[in-house]
Structure 1
Amino acid sequence: METLSTPLVSLPIQANPGAPTVKNDNRNRLVLSLIDRCISLKQLKQVHAYMLRTGLFFDAYSASKLFTAGTLSPFLSLEYARKVFDEILEPNLYTWNTLIRAYSWSPEPSESVKIFLRMLCESPYFPNKFTFPFLIKAATKLSRLGVGQVFHGLVVKSSFGDDVFILNSLIHFYASCGDLDFAYRVFVRIDEKDVVSWNSMISGYVQGGCFDKALELFREMEAENVKSNAVTMVGVLSACTKMKDLEFGRWICSYIEQNGIKMDLTLSNAMLDMYVKCGSVEDAKKLFDKMEEKDIVSWTTMIDGYAKLGEYDVAKSFLDAVPRQETATWNALISAYDQNGKPQEALAIFHQLQLSKNAKPDELTFVSTLSSCAQLGAMDVGEWIHANIKKQRMNLNCHLTTSLIDMYSKCGNLEKALDVFHSVERRDVFVWSSMIAGLAMHGRGRAAIDLFFRMHEAKVKPNAVTFTNVLCACSHSGLVEEGRMFFNQMEPVYGVVPGVKHYACMVDILGRAGLLEEAVEFIEKIPITPSASVWGALLGACKIHENVELAEQACSRLLELEPENDGALVLLSNIYAKTGKWDNVSELRKRMRVSGLQKERGWSSMEVNGTLHKFLAADNSHPLSKEIYSKLDEIVAKLKSSGHVTNKSLLLQLVDEEDMKEQALNLHSEKLAIAFGLISTGPSQPIRIVKNLRVCGDCHTVAKLISKLYDKEILLRDRLNIAIDVASTIEYLHHHSQPPMVHGDLKPSKVLLDHDMIPHVGDFGLAKFMSDHLLGTAPGTQSSSIGIKGIVGYVA
C-alpha cells in the first residue's frame, strides 16, 4: 500500500511554479488523491508544499480541497486552515461555509460570526441554506439569544424559512437559550416535520425541565405515525428518569424492543440510567448483563446505583471488575459515600485511587473528597488536596474554590478559608455564600453581614442558599433585628421566595433570643405547611430556655411529620432531664424501646498526620488506650487542683452516686480524644475534634480549661448526621473582622465561639479555645437543633 512517508520527492516538479494553472491532469489527480490519504498534519503540509511549487494551489478547486482537509479532518488545525484560507485568492461559497462550520464546532464559535460578516463584506456571495445551520449552531454555543434571532430574521428574508434543516437548528437554538415557547412556535410552523424536528423539541423540553410536555409530545408523535429512532428514545427515557416514572420507563423499554429500534450504546446507557435513578437496580443489572458493548458510562452507572442504595460491597465489586478503571468510576463511589454520610469510607476509596496506576484524581474527585474532609475535620488530607491542585496548576474554578472554603471553615481554619477566597478573581454566588457561611459558623455574624453587602456591591445576585447562611449568621450572633430585616427583604428586594429553610432559620433566630411566643406566632403565619425543621427549631429553643410545655407541643407536631425521628424524643428527654422530670424521661425511653428507636451512640474523631482516630464514651479499644487513660487521670487531677468542679447537672441520666456521675462525665468521648491529642500532637499543633452529636456543657467548659492549663489550641465541632450542602457556605475581608457578639457582663473574646449551625442546613457547631483567652458563652447561643434525625442536645 502506498504511503505518504516519501512519495512526494519522486513527483516531477512543474517548471513554472508561479503558473496559475497546471496542464498535467494525471499528476494533478494523483496529488489530489494524496490529500484524501493524509493521516497527519505533517503529511498534509507536504502536499501543500508540492502544490505551491507546481502552481496547483492556485487552482480554486484544488486549493479548496486542501483547505477542507485541513479544516474537517480528524487532525484538523484551525490555525493552519485559517492561514490556507487567507492565501486562497477567491474562495468560493463552499470554502466560506466550511470555515464557518469549523469554527462553529470549535471552542471559539464567535469566530464563525466574524467570518460570516467578513464574507458579506469581501465576497460576492450571500449565505445559502448550508450557511445558516452553522451560524445558528455558533449562536447556540454562545448562548446569545439576540445573535440567533438576527440569523432567524435573515433566514426568513432569504426565503429559507421553510427549510426543515434550518428550522430544526432554530428549535435547538431557542430551547438551548431557554426560550421554549419560541422553540415550540418554530416547531409548529414546520409543515412536514421529520424525526429530527420531533427529537429537537422533545430534547428541548427535557433540557428545560418540562418533562411532562416532553412525554406528551412523544405521544403526539406516535399519533402522527412518525417513526421514532434511538435519539427519540434517549430523550423520552431522560424525561422518565427526571420524573422518576419507572412504570412508563419500563413501557418505553418494551416499546423499543417491539418496534425494532436499534439499540446503540447511548440508548443502552440511557435505559440503565433510567432504571437506576428510578430505583430498580435489579432491572439495570439484567440489562447490564445482556449488553454486548459497555463503556465507562455503563460501569459508572451501575457503581453509582448500588452505592446510593447502600450496597457498597457490590458497588466496590463493580469498580474492581471494570476492564479499565478510569477516574469517573472512582468518582462515582467516592461521591456516593460522601453524599450518604460515609465520609471516612469516601477517603479510603480516595486513598486507593491515589495508588492506582490507571487513573488520577480530577476536579470532581477533589470536590467530593474535600466535602468528606469537611465532614470529618480531616484538614491534613484537605491541605494535601489544596497543595496538589497548586502543583498540577489546576484551574481553581468556583466548584473547587467553594469546596476549599467549606473544608477550611469546617476544619476550624478561617484564615485559610479567607486566603482561598481572596486568591481567586472569579467568585460566583456559591463562593460568596460559602464564605458567608464560614464566617457565620465561626461566630462572626456582623462580618458575614458585611460580606453579604460586599457581594451586593460586586453585582452578584444572592440566592436561597445565600439567605440561609445570612440568617444563620444572625441566629448564632444574636442579631434578631438584622435577621428580621433580611427575611423581610428576601422577596420584595432580592426576588428570592422564602423556603422551608428560611422559615426554620427565623424560628431559630427568635427561639435562641428567648422570643418563644413570637416564634409560635411566626409559625402560625407561615404560608406553607411548617416542616419538621421548623418544629425542630422551636423544640431546640425550648431546650435552651427550659420551656417544657411548649417543647411537648413542638415534639408532638414534629413526630406527626416524622414518626421515626428518634432525635426529637431524645431532645425532649433531655429537656425533661434538665428540669428534673425523671418519670417523664423513663416514659420516653420506654416508648423508644417499644417502638424500636435507639439513640445514636456518640463518638468523637481526631485526625493526626492524615490518620483518623475514633473514640466512644469509656472506650478502651485504641492501641494507646493505657496512655490515654493515664493522661486523662492527669487532666482530671489538674482540673481539680485549678478549682474546676464537674457540672453534674449536665448528666442526663438518673444516677444516685456522685462519684458515678463525675466518672460518667469524665469518660465522654471528646475528653478521651483531647487526652489522645495531648499525647500525639506537637506543642504548636492544634487539637481538632469532630463529634457526631452535641458537645455537652461540661466538655465545653473542660476544653477551655485544658487549653489554658496545657497552653494548647483546641477545636471542638459538632457534626450532625445529615447530608451536608457543600454549595452553601462563606468569605470576608480580614481587616473588617469583629469579635463574637457579647451579651451582659461576659468578657469579650477574640476566639470564635459558636455552637451548632442549624442542622437542616447541614452545618455544625464549632468552638475554638485558645490558651491565652478567658472564654464565656453568651446566653442564647446554645444549640437550637432542628427536628431531623440526629438531634440530640447535650447527650454524650
Structure 2
Amino acid sequence: MAALSAPLVSLPRYPTANNHLLSLIDQCTNTKHLYQIHAQMLRTGLFFDPYTASRLITASALSSFSSLDYAHRVFDQIPQPNLYTWNTLIRAYASSSQPNLSVVVFLEMLYQSCELPNKFTYPFVIKAASELKALRLGTGFHGMIVKASLASDVFILNSLVHFYGSCGHLELAYRVFLNIRNKDLVSWNSMITTFAQGNCPKEAIELFREMEAESVKPNDITMLGVLSACAKKVDIEFGRWVCSYIERNEIRVNLTLNNAILDMYVKCGSVEDAKRLFDRMPEKDVVSWTTMLDGYAQSGNYDEAHRIFEAMPSQNIAAWNALISSYEQNGKPKEALATFHKLQINKSAKPDEVTLVSTLSACAQLGAIDLGGWIHVYIKKQEIKMNCHLTTSLIDMYSKCGDLEKALDVFNSVEKTDVFVWSAMIAGLAMHGRGRAAIDLFSKMLEAKVKPNAVTFTNILCACSHSGLVDEGRNFFHQMETIYGVVPGVKHYACMVDILGRSGHLEEAMEFIEKMPMAPSVSLWAALLASCRLHVNVELAEQACSQLLELDPRNHGAYVLLSNIYAKTGKWDRVSALRKFMRDSGLKKEPGCSSIEINGIIHEFLVGENSHPLTKEIYSKLDEVAAKLKSVGYVPNKSHLLQFVEEEDMKEQALNLHSEKLAIAFGLISMGSSQPIRVVKNLRVCGDCHSVAKLISGVYEREILLRDRYRFHHFKGGQCSCMDYW
C-alpha cells in the first residue's frame, strides 16, 4: 500500500562523529560488510547514538540483503531505541513471513518505550493484522487510533480499508472509506480492489465510475482492480472498453497490467483476444504463459494447451496445475491422472496443495483409491500441512472410493475443521446410506459451534433421502431458514422432492412442487421422474417428463427415464416411439460404463464389452457365476430389461452383458480373495445387477463396493448396505 512507502518519521539532522561511516551504511551491499560496519560502530561508540543506530537497523531490516533475525539482535543491543527504530522493526516484520512478530514488537514498544505510537506506526501494525486476517486485533488497533486522535490521517484510514477488506468485512471497509475526507488515489484504489477481491465486482465498477466523476485520475493499480472486477462479472464487452480506456488515457502498461488483461480475457471466455495480446506482449513471465495455458485448457482446446505447455521457458507447478485442474474440472479425470503421472516422472516441479487437491478429486471421480491412498502417504512423508482444503479432498476421495472408515479416520485425526470438512464427512456418510450417523455428525457439528451452510443442508437432506428418513428430512428442511438462517435453494427443494418421491409420497411431492416460491428446475423434475420410475407411476411420469423437456428439450435423460418406465410396464410401442424420436433428433442415451481399479490401473467396461485383453476369461467367469447363482435359486429379473426381446434365453444373455457384471467378474479373476472389489458405474445400477452382486458376495464370500451415480452399495455376506432402499 502506498501508505507504507511514506517516510517513517522525519530523522533528526545533526552532525555526527563519523559521517564517513554513515555513508558506508548507505553503500553497503551485503551482510558481511554490514557486520564490519557494526563492529566498527561498537569500537568507536557510535552505535550508542540513537540516530546512527537507527540507520544500521534500517539497513539490516529493510535492505535487499536484510536479515530480520540479525536486525532484531542489533535492536536488542540498543539501550533506548527511538520511535523511528521501533517503527522500522515493526514495518519489517509486517512485510515478512512472520507478521505476528510485528504485533509482538508493537506490544513491547507500548510497555518499554517512553514514546507513543504515531501515524507512521499504525499503518504497519494494521498491515500485520491484515496479513493475519485478525479481525479482533485490527479492530483493537482501530480503537487505539481513535483514542490517539489519529482517525483523520489518510495513510491510516487507507490501511484500515485494506484491513477490513482482507478480513472479508466489506461493509466496514466501505464505512471507513466514506469517512475519509480528503481521499487520495490510494483511498480509491484500496476500496476498488477490496470490492473486486471481495466478490463484489458490480460495486467495484460503480466506485470506479464515481472516481471518474470526482476527476481523480486512475493509474495502473486502479485498472488492476477494475480488470479483476470485470473478470468476475464475465463481461467481455466492458473488458474490451477497459482496455481501450487504458490506451486512451495513456495509463502505464507494465507486465503486471498486461497479465491482468490477459486473465480478464481468459476468464471472460475470449481466448482469441487473449492470444492476440499474448503474441504482442513485449515481456512475458510464468504468469503470462500459465494464464494462456489455462485459457486453452478451460476452453477444451487441449492441443493448444499442450503446445503452450511445451513452449514455456520453464514449466513450474502452476503450469502443471492448470492442466491437471482443467482436466479434472471438465470431466476428464483419466487425463488429469495421466498428467499427474507425467509430473512425477518429469520431476521438474514439486506437487503443491493445488496439485494434490485436483488429483484427489480426479481419483474420487474414477474410484482410484490406490493413487488416492498414495497421495495421502505422500502428504504425511513430505510433512505437508493438513489444511481444510486437503482434509476435505481426502475425505471426499476415500468416501467416493468406497473406504468410509478411512474417510472417518482422516476426519477424526485433524485438529482444524471448517464447515466444508464437516459437510464432506456428512456427504460421505450419506452416499454410503448411513443416514442416522450423518444426522449424529450434524448434531456434533452444532455442538462444535460450526454453523451449517447451504452445502451442509444439501448433504444432510441427501442422507435422509438415501436412508428413507422422511420425517427427519421434513424437519431439517423447515428448520433451515427459521433456525439456521439458510434460505433453501433449488437443490434443497430437489432433495425434498427426492425424499418424498423415493419413499412413495408422490402426490405430496407434487403438491410440494406446486407450492414452491421459485420456478421448478430441471433437477427437481428429474428427481420426481426418477421416483415415478421407482414406483412405476406412468401418469405422473409423463407429466414430470413434459415439464422437464419444456425447460431442457435436449435432455436425453428424460426420454430414457420415461422409456424405462414404459418398458417396465410392457408398453413397448411407446418405448419404440420414444427411441425413434431420440434417433431422429440426434439424441443418444449415455452408455452404461463401469470401471474398476486393479494395481493402480483403471479398467473400463461398456455394455457387452469385448475389447478387453481378458475378455475370454471374463465371460468364462460370468458363465461360472451364472451357474453357481442358479444353483442357489437365482432367477434373472427380466423386468429390468429395457428393450424388447422375444426369446427368453436372449433376455437372460442381454442382462448378463451389463457393465457392472463384467467389472465384478474381472475383479473376481484379478484380485485376491481378501481384497474388496470396488466398482464405479456412471448410471444407476439396475435391479438385477443389484441382486446378482448380493448373491456373489454371499456365494463367493467377497466384499463388493458398487458406486453408481447416486450412492454406494456395500455388498457383504449376501446383503447390501442399502437394505434394498435405493
Partner Cα distance (1:647, 1:257) in 2: 71
For 2:319, which of 324, 329, 332 is the aligned residue?
A: 329
Deviation at 1:161, TM superposition (A): 4.6
For 1:76, which of 62, 66, 71 is the aligned residue?
A: 66
For 1:603, which of 573, 576, 593 is the aligned residue?
A: 593
User: Are the aligned partners of 2:695 and 2:718 in contact in 1 as well (CA < 8 Å)?
Assistant: no
Q: CA distance change for structure 1 residues 617 and 476 in 2, over 3 Å: closer, same or farther?
A: same
Report what 2:713 is aligned to. Answer: 767
Partner Cα distance (1:430, 1:661) in 2: 46
Partner Cα distance (2:106, 2:360) in 1: 46
Report what 1:693 is aligned to. Answer: 683
Matched, 1:53 2:35: no
Match for 2:363: what amino acid? Answer: C
Report what 1:666 is aligned to. Answer: 656
Match for 1:368: what amino acid? Answer: S
Deviation at 1:29, TM superposition (A): 4.4
Deviation at 1:639, TM superposition (A): 2.4
Q: Tell me the secondary structure at the aligned position of residue 704 of structure 1.
A: helix
Report what 1:707 is aligned to. Answer: 697
Report what 2:332 is aligned to. Answer: 342
Deviation at 1:107, TM superposition (A): 4.0
Partner Cα distance (1:682, 1:182) in 2: 62
Matched, 1:116 2:106: yes
Deviation at 1:454, TM superposition (A): 0.9
Report what 1:193 is aligned to. Answer: 183
Deviation at 1:103, TM superposition (A): 2.5
Q: Deviations over 1:686-716 (max 9, x none)?
A: 2211111122111111122222232222221
For 2:432, which of 415, 437, 442 is the aligned residue?
A: 442
Deviation at 1:649, TM superposition (A): 1.5
Report what 1:282 is aligned to. Answer: 272
Partner Cα distance (1:169, 1:181) in 2: 15
Matched, 1:534 2:534: no
Matched, 1:495 2:495: no
Partner Cα distance (1:296, 1:677) in 2: 45
For 2:296, which of 282, 296, 306 is the aligned residue?
A: 306
Q: CA distance change for structure 1 residues 40 and 681 in 2, over 3 Å: closer, same or farther?
A: farther
Report what 2:10 is aligned to. Answer: none
Q: CA distance change for structure 1 residues 172 and 651 in 2, over 3 Å: closer, same or farther?
A: same
Q: Tell me the secondary structure at the aligned position of residue 707 of structure 2.
A: strand
Partner Cα distance (1:61, 1:776) in 2: 77
Matched, 1:468 2:414: no
Partner Cα distance (1:472, 1:425) in 2: 27
Partner Cα distance (1:184, 1:510) in 2: 46
Report what 1:730 is aligned to. Answer: none
Greater helix share, 1 or 2?
A: 2
For 2:241, which of 251, 261, 276 is the aligned residue?
A: 251
For 1:554, which of 544, 551, 555 is the aligned residue?
A: 544
Matched, 1:169 2:159: yes
Deviation at 1:371, TM superposition (A): 0.7
Indicate the larger mover: 525-534 or 51-60.
51-60
Equivalenced residue count is 712
Match for 2:452: what amino acid? Answer: P
Match for 1:61: what amino acid? Answer: Y
The 5 A counterparts of 1:568-579 are 568-579=558-569
Deviation at 1:79, TM superposition (A): 3.0
The 5 A counterparts of 1:141-540 are 141-152=131-142, 154-155=144-145, 158=148, 160-540=150-530
Partner Cα distance (1:674, 1:145) in 2: 55
User: Are the aligned partners of 2:60 and 2:67 in contact in 1 as well (CA < 8 Å)?
Assistant: yes
Deviation at 1:117, TM superposition (A): 4.2
Q: Deviations over 1:594-616 (max 9, x none)?
A: 22111011111111111111111
Q: Deviations over 1:510-568 (max 9, x none)?
A: 11111111111111111111111111111111111100000111111111111111101
Partner Cα distance (1:177, 1:613) in 2: 47
Deviation at 1:146, TM superposition (A): 4.9
Partner Cα distance (1:400, 1:450) in 2: 24
Q: Deviations over 1:316-342 (max 9, x none)?
A: 221122110011111111111111111
Partner Cα distance (2:228, 2:184) in 1: 21
Higher RCO (CA < 8 A, seq sep 6+): 1
Report what 1:97 is aligned to. Answer: 87
Partner Cα distance (1:520, 1:448) in 2: 27
Matched, 1:617 2:607: yes
Deviation at 1:776, TM superposition (A): 8.4
Deviation at 1:140, TM superposition (A): 2.7
Deviation at 1:670, TM superposition (A): 1.6
Partner Cα distance (2:646, 2:508) in 1: 39
Q: Deviations over 1:88-142 (max 9, x none)?
A: 1221221121122122223443443443344344333233332232233233334
Deviation at 1:485, TM superposition (A): 1.2
Report what 2:118 is aligned to. Answer: 128
TM-score normalised over the length of structure 2:
0.94
Q: Tell me the secondary structure at the aligned position of residue 605 of structure 2.
A: strand
Deviation at 1:35, TM superposition (A): 3.3
The 5 A counterparts of 1:743-782 are 756=710, 765-770=711-716, 772-775=717-720, 778=723, 781-782=725-726
Indicate the larger mover: 98-107 or 354-363.
98-107
Q: Percent identity?
A: 70
Report what 1:12 is aligned to. Answer: none
Q: CA distance change for structure 1 residues 631 and 183 in 2, over 3 Å: closer, same or farther?
A: closer
Q: Deviations over 1:222-265 (max 9, x none)?
A: 23332211111111111111111111100101111222211112
Deviation at 1:464, TM superposition (A): 1.0
Q: CA distance change for structure 1 residues 585 and 271 in 2, over 3 Å: closer, same or farther?
A: same
| Alignment root-mean-square deviation, CA | 2.1
Q: Tell me the secondary structure at the aligned position of residue 517 of structure 2.
A: coil
Q: CA distance change for structure 1 residues 615 and 147 in 2, over 3 Å: closer, same or farther?
A: closer
Matched, 1:627 2:617: yes
User: Are the aligned partners of 2:161 and 2:176 in contact in 1 as well (CA < 8 Å)?
Assistant: yes
Partner Cα distance (1:645, 1:560) in 2: 40
Tell me, which stretches of 5 or more residues in structure 1 are unaligned? 1-22, 720-755, 757-764, 783-796
Deviation at 1:313, TM superposition (A): 1.8
Q: CA distance change for structure 1 residues 49 and 241 in 2, over 3 Å: closer, same or farther?
A: same
Q: Tell me the secondary structure at the aligned position of residue 310 of structure 1.
A: coil
